[in-house]
Structure 1
Amino acid sequence: MTAILHLCTTCRAGVDTAALREALPEGAELRLHECLNACGKPVALSMQGRGTGYLFNGVDPVTDAHDIAATARIYMAAPGGVIEDARPCGRLRFCLLGRLPAV
């Protein structure tokens, strides 16, 4: 499965995405997107594929790059995108705002 990550660019303009782009596994695509409406704790990030989707906030794309990449790997390997054990996601598991069911 592939993973599309949408990173909010509204709350923190000029976010450096180089480390994140470099860390992401093959099959994961990073797209910059205006407001994801999770402004309480910038920066917001969503992860979508063919199955379940996730929304995170309070993410730092620079310092959390490896945890985001680890989560993308787990997500892409999980049947239907359902992550059963989030411990390998590192700090990102504490940034989870919501899980969206597959359509």
Structure 2
Amino acid sequence: MTAILHLCSTCRTTQNHDALRACLPDETELRLHPCLNVCSKPTALSLQGNGASYLFGGIDPAADAADIAATVRAYMAAPDGVIVDARPCGRLRHCLIGRIPAP
């Protein structure tokens, strides 16, 4: 499964995203998006692919890079995109705002 990460570029626009890009699986596309409307919990990140989608808030792309990469790997390993055991996701499991079912 391919994964697409949308990272809010309005929150903390000066952040360096190289650390995050460097640890993501090859099948992951990182897209900077002007606003994800989660302004009360910067920085926002969404995870989409062929299954369910996820929305996270309160993440730090550099400090949470390893946890984001682990979440992407768990997502890609789930046939329908539903991460059943979120423990490998580290701190990101506490930043989850919601899961949107696949269409």
* Structure 1 length-normalised TM: 0.98
**Structure 1 partner of 2:2:** 2
The correspondence of residues 1-103 of structure 1 with structure 2, limited to 5 A, is 1-103=1-103
Within 2, Cα distance between the matches of 1:71 and 1:63? Answer: 14
Within 1, Cα distance between the matches of 2:99 and 2:15? Answer: 24
* Residue 8 of structure 1: how far off its partner (Å): 0.1
Cα-Cα RMSD: 0.6
Within 1, Cα distance between the matches of 2:37 and 2:98? Answer: 12
Within 1, Cα distance between the matches of 2:11 and 2:28? Answer: 23
* Residue 12 of structure 1: how far off its partner (Å): 1.1
Give 4+ residue runs of structure 1 displaced > 4 Å after superposition.
none
Number of matched pairs = 103
**What SS is found at the alignment partner of 1:15?**
coil
Unaligned runs of 5+ in 2: none
- Aligned-pair identity in percent equals 68
Within 1, Cα distance between the matches of 2:10 and 2:73? Answer: 26
Unaligned runs of 5+ in 1: none
**What SS is found at the alignment partner of 2:84?**
coil
AA aligned to 2:50 is R
